[in-house]
């Protein structure tokens, strides 16, 4: 199917992406290999052209790159045109037997990127995010490092994740007009208080805003979103669709720069989510939904 599109810097992608993390970590065991492949293929078959992953998405600290390898393999084994698919990954969070941390140093980010390139099986990442701020360094330093990778041709577009307005503006200053392609923050009907300003700010400056956990997360929030918000359940019933579709269609409609990436570990889940791209909500329904974050 042909899906509505969004801009990620110089790239064009579907208005909704696949968050691949649940295939490797989250509630319960990682998805079996065959189901992981089927889930990614189902997303691509449904017209989704943005796959979102990260180096730390893995069942354990010593299997980092697990999710990236799944994404790379799924693209190579898909029978469609993979050249139109954009892959985003992230670096800057560490995992070890002792726990997790953050490292935004040039040396660490280069090692992380090189491992991501190998795991994905490519020589250039379409969109590379700095995953979380490292408070031990200047914010601009890590952004400058990514700019260097871009100049080397190792990444096409630059993003930042879990960033506030001030950090977005630092990145904009370092990269220049149009240099920051995307900001990926948590945003959903159950979690919006720290990202509403960022969503609006990105829209004002032509930056894609990519909500992660757009349905409320894998801890049960996504499954229960219709139970928690009666207006979502009512609108879903009126359209004969899932509450999750209503939420995603509403988020897509918050601006031409908004591009949610719902997670999925089953083909049925992402196929349902993808249908949100063609769900038309009325102005009254949107106003009802807007009241959730008013």
From the list 57, 128, 129, 139, the catalytic residue is 57
* Pairing verdict, β 5-8 and 208-212: unpaired
Determine whether 129 is an active site residue: no
Distance, first Cα to last Cα, the chain: 34
Cα distance between residue 132 and residue 25, in whole Å:
18
Task: Give the residue numbers marked as catalytic.
Answer: 57
């Amino acid at each position: 199917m042909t899906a509505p599109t969004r801009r990620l810097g110089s790239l064009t992608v579907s208005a909704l992406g696949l968050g691949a993390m649940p295939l490797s970590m989250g509630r319960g065991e990682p998805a079996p290999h065959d189901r992981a492949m089927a889930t990614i293929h189902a997303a691509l078959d449904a017209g989704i052209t943005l796959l979102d992953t990260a180096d730390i998405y893995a069942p354990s600290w010593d299997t980092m790159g697990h999710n990236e390898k799944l994404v790379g393999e799924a693209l190579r084994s898909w029978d469609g045109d993979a050249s139109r698919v954009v892959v985003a990954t992230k670096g800057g969070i560490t995992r070890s037997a002792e726990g997790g941390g953050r490292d935004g140093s040039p040396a660490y980010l280069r090692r992380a990127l090189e491992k991501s390139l190998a795991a994905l099986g490519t020589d250039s990442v379409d969109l590379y995010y700095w995953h979380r701020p490292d408070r031990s360094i200047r914010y601009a330093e890590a952004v400058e490092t990514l700019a260097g990778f871009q100049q080397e041709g190792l990444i096409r577009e630059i993003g930042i994740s879990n960033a506030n307005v001030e950090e977005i503006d630092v990145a904009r200053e370092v990269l220049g007009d149009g240099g920051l392609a995307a900001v990926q923050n948590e945003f959903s009907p159950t979690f919006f208080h720290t990202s509403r300003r960022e969503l609006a700010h990105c829209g004002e400056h032509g930056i894609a805003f990519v909500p992660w956990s757009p349905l409320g997360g894998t801890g049960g929030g996504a499954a229960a979103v219709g139970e928690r918000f009666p207006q979502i359940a009512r609108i879903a019933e009126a359209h004969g669709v899932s509450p999750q579709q209503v939420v995603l269609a509403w988020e897509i409609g918050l601006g031409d720069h908004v591009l949610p990436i719902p997670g999925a570990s089953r083909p049925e889940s992402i196929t349902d989510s993808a249908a949100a791209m063609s769900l038309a909500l009325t102005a009254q329904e949107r106003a009802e939904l807007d009241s959730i974050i008013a």
